[in-house]
Structure 1
């Protein structure tokens, strides 16, 4: 959950403030209570803002607490210049929140203050209502979670392992633009580091990882493309990535893999799935966002979606449209986090639905493909793409659906059955999607999180390109 600042802006006339202070405090206390109950950390201004000096000092205190979002709270008429002074000390996003109690003109104070901010071009959002209303608290929370996701990018480092894969323009971004627009630095690391470190990794750890998969998933050894030695090499690649993440301070990453590693070493499917999962054989962990094919804009999208949801993020190719069932096959060479197999907090429940198959002919080096079918449920699907150099967020709602085993097998056989699949039904018509979508990779998180994605884009100044059923 996000860290939210709350500052109540009030009247500058001492005799008025004396009469309204308790009224302001009661509404502020109610707001803070409900935000805290929703799981947010709340930093409350040390005083109601009633003068120029208090406006700046209280705002500095709240800003110093490194909040993700500040709520400027209006329960009464508030001198608008107090808002302007406070906003000048607050570096993060602002929400102006008005009560709807007609006893006092809080709405008037919010509108006057918001208009003043408009005049100087200071972006902000406006909300109004009773904090006992769960929808209002959710709206503040969505905005705060979006602000936290955006804030987490500033000063972050992306590890690009290996460079551009197979000529994909959409997998490569301008590092200057990333630094200017998102505050993200890019560390270039050669794939040799994965090979070198994987070979030097602790044999006991590699064996432990292999045995964990053998115990909880179904491993289809064939003695050629998938052997215990190759699976341990893939586990070693995961251990190598963990070392690189720690040593280089990588906040998220992407691995090129194709064609060098997939032809001469092993596929990175196991490493990428484990990085994105909230667990490995040693127990629970925080997912590390990692995109296959070193897809930079894919990884950035995933990082933002993870910031909103806290869950692993699906990475997939838009592989095929089954027109007879109005279902898309979202499938990419084994990179789906195993969490998506059942979306359970228990790794064993997820891995029970996972098969490690020998890699297909595309990847002569061999190794395991991490195959499963994504569990059903409502999903938010999104992707940052660029139109004439400018970022846009392509966004839609959808759902993952499930079929019986025979239908699953028939549908998988049409593409690559050894790879993971998500059967996705999108709100957007197929013709609309195929004519507008700006990449071959797409990303998803559970639930309808479109409001949060819209808020992220508003904070970043990115255009929304939303796909609907029309």
Structure 2
């Protein structure tokens, strides 16, 4: 959950504030209790704001607690310039919240304050309701979670292994723009570093990991050519090598080019990427490390935001095919699909029991294992940060992953590449709109409906929202 600051704004007339103080405090206490019941950490101002000095000092005190969002609360009529001073004393996103108790003009106070902020161009959100209303807490929580996700980007480092893959312009972003708009630095790492370290990685640990995969998955389908125990261990050693580099260089998320140098001369990175994006490996539970196939920078940035909002692994896939007769999309890519998506279970064994490791196909002469499964069904938020004329936009939609009987599943995967992972998605967007407007070949997904938080993310980042639905 998020850390939320609460500052209550009052009337500047001493006799009016004295009359209202206990009323304001009771409303603030109820709001704080409701937010804490929703799981948030709440930092309440030490005093009610009824003077210029308090507007600044209370806001600074709350800001010093490094809150994700600051709630300016209006239970009564409040002098608008107190809001202006408090807003100037904090850099966090603001949510102006009004009590709807009709005995006092809290809505009037919020509207006057919001209008004043509009005049100076200070962005803010607004909400209203009874302080103990769970829906109000949920609304505030949406903005707080969005702010926590946005702030998590600032000061982070993206590890870019290799350069532009196969002329793919949408996989490359402007590093100056990333720092200016998102606060993200980019560490450039040559893929040769990965090869060198993989060769030196612990052979006994790679063997143990290979044996774990052989025991845990539905099958490791060695063919003596494109997939051998030695090649699978090379992929695992690549995972160990990147884990070491991540630790040494303090990388927060990453992308691996792979094609064509590694896929033609070393091994594919499919196993490496799946393990990095999974919340477990052969040693047990671990933190996921967002890693994008083909060093897709905007894809990785999208995934990192999605991860912060959902707390789950994030899907990376090509938009491979549209089955118009079924109105479903085959989201399929040789890399990245975390094995967690096979069942979305907290038990790794349940996920891995639905995963097969197949020999790589003709695209990748160096060979290795492809991590194959069909994503489990359920509601999904799908989208991606893309750019139009240099400006970022979030293309967003809701959808459902579907799975069918074994015969149907096989018939569908056989129409593209059966050795790769697949997610069959029914999107809440018309096919002609998606194909005419979507700005990349890669798409990303997380379980559940996170559109409200992502709308708030766009507001906070100054990113245009392109949201599609059939309505």
TM-score, L = length of structure 2: 0.98
Query: Which residue in the other structure is 2:408 paired with?
Result: 407
* Separation in 2, partners of 1:235, 1:6: 48
CA shift for structure 1 position 249: 1.1
CA distances 1:2-34 after superposition (whole Å, capped 9, x unpaired): 111111111222222222111111111111111
Counterpart-to-counterpart distance in 2, 1:206 and 1:219? 15
Query: Could you tell me which residue of structure 1 aligns to residue 53 of structure 2?
Result: 53
Provide the rounded CA distance (Å) in 1 between the counterparts of 2:387 and 2:216: 41
3-state SS of paired residue (1:398) = strand
- Paired residue for 2:303? 302
Write out per-residue CA displacement over residues 246-304 of structure 1, whole angstroms, 9 at most, x where no aligned residue: 11111111000000001111110111111111111111112111100000000011111
Q: Is the 8 A contact 2:117 2:123 kept in 1?
A: yes
Aligned partner of residue 15 in structure 1, secondary structure? helix
Distance in 2 (CA, whole Å) between partners of 1:213 and 1:28 is 54
Corresponding residue for residue 65 of structure 2: 65
Give the deviation of 1:363 after TM superposition. Answer: 0.7
Query: What does residue 265 of structure 1 align with?
Result: 266
- 1:327 offset after TM fit, Å? 0.8
Name the residue aligned to 2:156.
156
Give the Cα separation in 2 of the matches to 1:445 and 1:97: 30
| 2:212 is aligned with 1:248 | no
Tell me, in whole angstroms, the C-alpha distance in 2 between the residues paired with 1:350 and 1:131.
42
The count of aligned residue pairs is 470
Per-residue deviation at 1:335?
A: 1.6
Q: Secondary structure at the match of 1:123?
A: coil
Q: Secondary structure at the match of 2:424?
A: strand
Q: Secondary structure at the match of 1:4?
A: strand
1:6 aligns to what? 6
Is 2:197 the counterpart of 1:197? Answer: yes
Gaps spanning 5+ residues in structure 2: where? none
Q: Which residue of 1 aligns with 2:387?
A: 386
1:22 pairs with 2:25: no
Contact 1:370 1:419 in 2 (8 A): yes
Distance 2:25 2:286 in 1: 41
Matched, 1:128 2:128: yes
| 3-state secondary structure, aligned to 2:299 | helix
Two-structure CA RMSD over aligned residues (Å): 1.0
Distance 2:189 2:392 in 1: 25
Is the partner of 1:370 in helix, strand or coil?
A: strand
**Separation in 2, partners of 1:374, 1:247:** 33
4+ long deviations beyond 6 Å? none
1:254 is paired with a residue whose SS is strand
Say whether 1:87 aligns with 2:76: no
The separation in 2 between residues aligned to 1:422 and 1:135, in whole angstroms, is: 33
Specify the SS of the correspondent of 2:158: strand
Distance across 1 between alignment mates of 2:294 and 2:127: 41
CA contact (8 A) 2:315 2:444 kept: yes
Structure 1: which 5+ runs fail to align? none
Deviation at 1:39, TM superposition (A): 1.2
Matches within 5 A, 1:153-192: 153-192=153-192
Question: Is this contact kept in 1: 2:291–2:336, CA < 8 A?
Answer: no
**1:272-311 paired onto structure 2 within 5 Å:** 272-311=273-312
1:232 is displaced (CA, Å) by 1.1
Worse overlay, 105-114 or 205-214: 205-214
Assess if the C-alpha contact under 8 Å between 1:265 and 1:365 holds in 2: yes
State the 1:448 CA deviation: 1.2
1:432 lines up with 2:433 in the alignment: yes
Q: Deviations over 1:307-335 (max 9, x none)?
A: 11111110000000111111100000032
Q: Provide Cα deviations, 1:129-184, integer angstroms capped at 9, x if missing partner.
A: 12332222111111111101111111111111001000000000011111111111
Name the SS of the counterpart of 2:379 in structure 1: strand
Q: What is the CA-CA distance between 1:469 and the residue it aligns to?
A: 1.1
Question: Would the aligned equivalents of 1:334 and 1:371 in 2 still touch at CA under 8 Å?
Answer: no
Residue in 2 aligned with 1:445? Answer: 446
- Tell me, yes or no, if the aligned pair for 1:264 and 1:364 is still in contact at 8 Å: yes
CA deviations on 1:339-379 (whole Å, 9 max, x unpaired) are: 11111111111111111111111111111111110010111
TM score, norm. by length of structure 1: 0.99
Partners of 2:162 and 2:399 in 1: CA distance = 33
For residues 58 and 211 of structure 1, the distance between their equivalents in structure 2, rounded to whole angstroms, comes to: 58
Q: Aligned pair 1:144/2:130, yes or no?
A: no
Determine if contact 2:293/2:335 at 8 Å carries over to the other structure. no
